[in-house]
A and B are shown apart, each in its own frame.
Chain A
Amino acid sequence: MSKIEVTPGMFSQVELKPSLKASIVMAVAGLIVLLGFGVFGKPGDITYVWSDKREFVQLPSYVVNSMLFCTIIGVILLALAGLAFMLNRRSKVTPMWLIIIFGFLAIMALLGWLATGASQGVQMVFILSNTLVLAIPLILGGMAGIMSERVGVVNIAIEGQLLTGAFVSSVVGTTTGNLYIGMIAAMIAAGLLSMILASLAIKYLVDQVIIGVLLNVLVIGVTNFLHSAWVDKDRQHLNFPGTFDKIAIPFLSDIPVVGQVLFNNRITVYLMFIIVPVLWYVLFKTKLGLRARSVGEHPLAADTVGINVAKTRFWWVTIGGMIAGLGGAALTIGNVGSFGREMSGGQGFIALAVVILGRWQPIYVMLSALLFGFTIILRVWANQVSPGVPFDFIVMVPYLVTLVAVAGFAGKVRAPAASGQPYVKG
């Protein structure tokens, strides 16, 4: 594996050197918005549509001049970049709230620029609710990544766990006729897959990255085979589960925009709402989480004070895998309604990137996963408004964002120090 010497304390917050990279990238993005979308942008109006026609409370649409709006946002973005720069000069890390506000404004400008002059405008509810639904597998996959990397096991197999969950939930959901059983089966199956990863990595010290990649290859091979040789021959009885019903939470779902986006969803979304804060709480506020993190930071020290390193790692990786299995179920019975060949389509790998982008912290990881969910729906939506930018370049955006992010936008990120390091007792 990569031979970057990891010395204890090397990644600790105290020694974290804020680099200027983040503020430079922000400044460049701000300039693109200011000049490209604003000053030299497209003349015309943008319509931001805030309400669905079916909604109880109707908000008026917001119409604004494209060039003026983007110019203003561009100036704000540059100001934010300047603020980040000042903070960096004072040896402070770019705070997360600043990046989030920056990202949100940049996205509004991008949407507006793409939809300038388009008759249907920017349908905010459609975009936001789909963003959330599409981000669920990424978020839950990201949680699996956090749980295993926080205890020191690199989990490249998220892709395989998602795919396993997707396949099992669809087949079991169809054959039993009960989607909840399908969901639980998906979690168990993905959990078992993680146990293979965990035991090989922890007990037998097989290289974690290699074993992860190979488990992905294995799951892709097995699901492809089962799909073509078994499931596809009798779709009606094996791969036709349908989806969970949407549950509208009383009163809350009547709030304009927010209600439709957050509180009228399937159970997979609500489970995510529970899992992310719980994981955050357990990781950072409980003894259990403290122990888990110590195992991931300095296993020798954890072992010395009596924590069972191998056991902790095994169970955290396994439970993480179960959560990823739920994410896989969200792909089929939580969204599409049937299993398709290799349907996870690299989302497990994006989840890996999301973990880094979110600095191994559940809430931030969720937010960065939402960014990717957004770019997926952007692809669909941008095709409808035909913005005059080649389609393939829009497809590229999330991957380029990840590249920029892992190369320093998120600052020098702090990985759990012992992540990827096997621990030999004795």
Chain B
Amino acid sequence: MKKNKDVAVKESSSESVLKEIMSGDPVRISLSILLGFIIGAIFMVVFDSGVVKSWSNFGADPNYALSSVWWTIQDGYGALFSGSIYNLNADNFIDGIRPLTETLRFAAPLVMAGLGVALTFRVGLFNIGATGQIMVGLAGATFVSTRMELPPVIHMLLATVVAVLCASVWGIIVGILKARFGAHEVIVTIMLNYVAASLFTYFLREPSLLLEANGGGTPKSDRPADTAMLGSLLGPEFKLHYGLIFAVLAVVGYWWLMERSTFGFRFRMVGHNASAARAAGIKVENTFIWALAISAGFAGLAAANQALSIQGGLTTSIEAGIGFDAITVALLGGSRAGGVAMAGLLFGAFKAGASSMQVAGVSPEVLGVVKALIVLFIAAPPIIRAIYRLPKPGPKMIDVMKKTAKVAK
């Protein structure tokens, strides 16, 4: 009896935290985002040399000191807004709305990779291998796009499929090491990220694989063939391309897979309680392998998006931290299809707005702090509850468990 209760409480406590994250309470999420921006503003102000100078003369000109604080924040977040949503200084509508399309363009790969990470969260795995899976997918897609000649569309689709398959293989390795050898997926995915990065660099250096024609010592590929490129979605005025359509399809596909299919039901069941799932006849080990393969497939889509939309040749920088951001996107989105899409949009806006913040003279690195804080607040509900003095949510799993245990006694 005693032992059973102990185990039950243990499981429910970590479960309930995940459930709380997933429950996606909109008030708490908005408060987290707000607080993230506020602390980001403090960082901007405190480390701005102009503000510091004006405050050192606070006695002489307090007005100026206060307004300099305001102007720094306005410059920073104003640049973020005009770089990611609507440019108020633009002459015409097309220039004005371009930032929004840029946000969508940056969001697409984040959403796709984020869905992959989210899927493994739902199965109870902590997969931080999206970076490596994207690298391998990039290698596959680029090989098809630079070394093969095929008719348009077919070429692009083939490159995408190859990217997905290559990434899936990388995910299956994690699955096998986890399911058959009992290695912890966190360590395995981290190590495979490094291996994939070296492998990708090697491929880019190797003339018979990806190195550009007449290429020298720098690891760089040829430009992808025109037939393999993702077409422009809104015409030549905008950079937005068909990757967005893939992202939308991925969101719908993820929703159907997780919420409607029997496959997804199995995933969720294993994620909720692996031993119960095993008792119900589900092969938990195989489910892990499948989940990691499909999850990596989503990362492969993100890779295809990157590889087939680039102007010029690929270098190792093409990954652009998407795999790492995917983890935070998945956490922020509560591992739900809609949530991940929204979180991807927010992070896409951060990426789109970074360059105009740079122009405005505010270090866009502050967005890294804002991002981390937002997700930290969302993943750790107690912090945000303590800061805003929110009441505790209704009867939590732990309390219910405790009560039932007491009654049983």
| A→B interface (CB under 8 Å) | 1-5, 21, 156, 200, 203-207, 209-211, 213-215, 217-218, 220-222, 224-230, 233, 300, 346, 349, 352-353, 356, 390, 392-393, 395-396, 399-400, 402-403, 406-408, 412, 421-424, 426
Contact (A226, B47) CB under 8 Å given A392-B201, A399-B194: yes
Chain B residues near A422 (CB-CB < 8 A): 10, 13-14
Contact A218 B183 (CB under 8 A): no
Among A217, A399, A400, A426, which residue has its beta carbon within 8 angstroms of that of B375?
A217
Chain A residues in 8 Å Cβ range of B49: 233
Query: Are A214 and B376 neighbours in the complex by a CB distance under 8 Å?
Result: yes
Q: Find chain B residues with CB under 8 A from A421 CB.
A: 10, 14
Q: Are B198 and A392 in contact (CB under 8 A)?
A: yes
Identity of the chain B residue whose Cβ is nearest the Cβ of A214 in the assembled complex: B376
Contacts of B6 in A (CB 8 A): 300
Which of B143-151, B303-311, B364-372 forms contacts with chain A?
B364-372
B contact set with A: CB distance below 8 Å: 6, 9-10, 13-14, 17-18, 43, 47-49, 124-126, 128, 177, 181-188, 190-192, 194-195, 198-199, 201-202, 205-206, 270, 273-275, 284, 324, 327-328, 331, 363, 365-366, 368-373, 375-376, 379-383, 398, 402
A250 vs B124: C-alpha distance when bound (angstroms): 56
CB distance from A380 to the nearest CB of B (A): 15
Interface residue from A2, A353, A356 paired with B185 (Cβ < 8 Å): A2
Knowing A1-B14, A209-B126, the reply to whether A204 touches B365 (Cβ < 8 A) is: no
Which residue of the partner chain A has the closest CB to B327?
Answer: A213
A221, B371: Cβ atoms under 8 Å?
yes
**A408 and B183 alpha carbons, distance in the complex (Å):** 8
- Most chain A beta carbons < 10 A, residue from B124, B187, B205, B382: B187
Chain A residues, CB < 8 A from B369? 218, 221-222, 225
Given known pairs A211-B379, A396-B198, the reply for A218 and B14 (CB within 8 Å) is no
Residue in B closest to A226 when the chains form the complex, CB atoms: B47
The total of Cβ contacts below 8 Å across the A-B interface reads 172
Partner of B379 from A205, A214, A220, A395 at Cβ < 8 Å: A214
- Please determine whether B181 and A426 come into contact, CB atoms closer than 8 angstroms: no
Q: Which of B17, B47, B183, B371 contacts A207 (CB 8 A)?
A: B17
Q: Known contacts A205-B14, A426-B402: does B379 contact A396 (CB below 8 Å)?
A: no
A43 to B184, CA, bound (A): 42
Tell whether A207 pairs with B18 under 8 Å between CB atoms, given A218-B376, A402-B187: yes
Q: Pick the contact of A400 from B43, B177, B195, B368 — CB < 8 Å?
A: B195
The docked-state distance in angstroms from the alpha carbon of A406 to that of B189 is: 12
Question: What separation, in Å, do the CA atoms of A346 and B380 have in the docked complex?
Answer: 24
List residues of chain B with CB within 8 A of the CB of A233. Answer: 49
> When the two chains form their complex, are residues A352 and B372 in contact, meaning their CB atoms are under 8 A apart?
no
- B119 CB, nearest partner CB in chain A, Å: 15
Residues of chain B with a CB closer than 8 A to A352's CB: 186-187, 190
A354 to B180: give the CA distance in the assembly, Å. Answer: 21
Closest CB-CB distance, A411 to chain B, in whole Å? 11
Give the CA-CA distance A426 to B398 in the complex, in Å.
Answer: 11
Taking a contact as CB atoms under 8 Å apart, the answer to whether A204 and B192 are in contact is no
Query: Which of chain A's residues have a CB closer than 8 A to the CB of B379?
Result: 206-207, 210-211, 214
The residues of A that contact B363 with a CB separation of less than 8 Å are: 225, 228-229
Q: Given the known inter-chain contacts A396-B198, A407-B177, A422-B10, please indicate yes or no for A200 contacting B382, CB distance below 8 A.
A: yes
A residues within 8 A CB of B383? Answer: 200
